[in-house]
Amino acid sequence: MAKIEKQKAIFSIGRLFRFYANRKRTLFGLAWSIVYLSVIACDASVDPRSIALIDAGGANSDGSSGMGGSGDASIAGSGGVAGSDLQVFDASPLTADAAAVAGNGGSAAVDSSLPIDAQPFDSGLNDGANGSAGTGAGGSGGSAGTSGPPPANADEVCARWNADRANRAEGTWSGNVSGCDPGDISEEGRTNALRLVNLYRWLADLPAVTTDPEFNRHAQACALIMRANNRLSHTPDQSWLCWTEEGAEGAGSCNISSGPLVQSVDGYMIDMGNPTTIGHRRWILSNMFGPTGLGATDRSSCMWTMGQRGTANKPWIAFPSPGVVPFELFGYGGWSNLDQTGWTVQSDTINLSTAQVEVTSDGAPLTVAVTQLLPNYGSRYAIRFNPQGWQAQAGKTYAVSVTGIATPIQYELQVVQCN
């Protein structure tokens, strides 16, 4: 078994070396557990109720990561869609599925599922260390937001939550489809999106990440392809309008969205429509995540998730996170909420396959339904648990106990109203 794992690691490292040594090659065969966000709306302003999340990628039978779910998501309708109009198709580990939706009288065809190949990937691979974190949110190649564990004081947590979310402007796009010019998103949009990413990581006691200028360029070229063709795919071919190798490489390495960049970050964290993976959330909270690249047009955006230089090495990560948790994080009053999509615990080292979860508040047990999540979406192991007959409330403290595993996990979270 050790020999097989060593061969997998050598294979993965070799692939990674060739990727960084020759940027001009498009390596769709490199199987990173890709997840992507599909925001199903074509209007310049997106109603959050029209957001759909679709997981792609997964695990091979040996527990390694596969490249599944690289089908197209077709988009139709001029004004977005209501939640009841939404059709979502989850991709199986080795199948390319698609999602389509019709809005305001529009129509969209659903692409058929196609088998694709999967390659092994050692999810424990780290190829370098993060750069040092700065003291403010940064943009292209800039510094990350403030790192360090969140304070136990509710006022301080709420102050950070409200400050980091005060400016969520999407920025402006300088490119155009007619000339296949990717342009760039203004620094405000990229900075605001990165700030939200690092806010969520800070709450989870994870180090801040930075953007990489080259990853930004790939993400920007990816966003142009999606915008020009009015659909989403991790594997656009040369028949797609405004196709470039750089953009195609970005599509194969990014979370992709037909929604705005800043708003999509919250969508990743709620992660509606991905009950078997919660993959978007897990990638953002991954020990390995970073650096990232962020690109956007007026209607589409891409977030590079395959930097794989993170070295947080936390034994486990929960969301909602231990400690003080803003009630607004749960998303009540929006298009979905955390109680609906599930609280999660993820780990790279603790096998959670036999996990049992108990939640109590004020000494009283609260019923939850536990679901095993597919491996290698940002973490080797993960579970979600959903409240049954109750929902999170501001002013309450919840004690979570995960047992039935080699290393039991216990933590408390205090939910506070920040607005």
Banded model confidence at residue 258, pLDDT cuts 50, 70, 90: confident
Better pLDDT: 1 or 351: 351
Q: pLDDT tens across 210-238, in order?
A: 999 999 999 999 999 999 999 999 899 99
What is the Cα–Cα distance from 22 to 31, expressed in whole angstroms? Answer: 17
pLDDT at 133 over 80: no
Q: Where are the alpha helices (DSSP H) in 116-186?
A: 154-164
| Pair 49, 9: CB distance under 8 Å | no
How confident is the model over 262-283, as a mean pLDDT? Answer: 91
pLDDT of residue 147: 52
Two tokens, residue 343? 């609280």
Better pLDDT: 414 or 258: 414
pLDDT of residue 120: 23
What DSSP string describes 320-370?
Answer: SPSEEEEGGGG-TTSS--HHHH-EEEEESSS--TT-EEEEEETTEEE-EEE
Percent of the chain past pLDDT 90, that is, above it, reads 56
Tell me the CB-side half-sphere exposure of residue 208, using CA atoms within 13 A.
26
pLDDT at 286 over 90: yes
Tell me the C-alpha to C-alpha distance, in Å, between residue 63 and each of 8, 164, 344: 11, 37, 20
How confident is the model over 93-112, as a mean pLDDT? Answer: 26
Q: Is the dihedral of CA 271, 274, 279, 285 positive or negative?
A: positive
Q: pLDDT tens across 356-367, in order?
A: 999 999 999 999
Tell me, what amino acid is at 320?
Answer: P
How confident is the model over 166-170, as a mean pLDDT? Answer: 97
pLDDT of residue 335: 76
pLDDT of residue 136: 34
Percent of the chain past pLDDT 70, that is, above it, reads 65
Banded model confidence at residue 150, pLDDT cuts 50, 70, 90: confident
pLDDT of residue 387: 98
Of 35, 39, 38, residue with least CA distance to 48: 39
How confident is the model over 389-411, as a mean pLDDT? Answer: 98
Of 75, 57, 78, residue with least CA distance to 66: 57
Q: What is the mean pLDDT of the chain?
A: 73
Q: Where are the alpha helices (DSSP H) in 71-147?
A: none
> Exposure of 106 by Cβ count < 10 A (0-12 exposed, 13-18 middle, 19+ buried)?
middle
Banded model confidence at residue 257, pLDDT cuts 50, 70, 90: confident
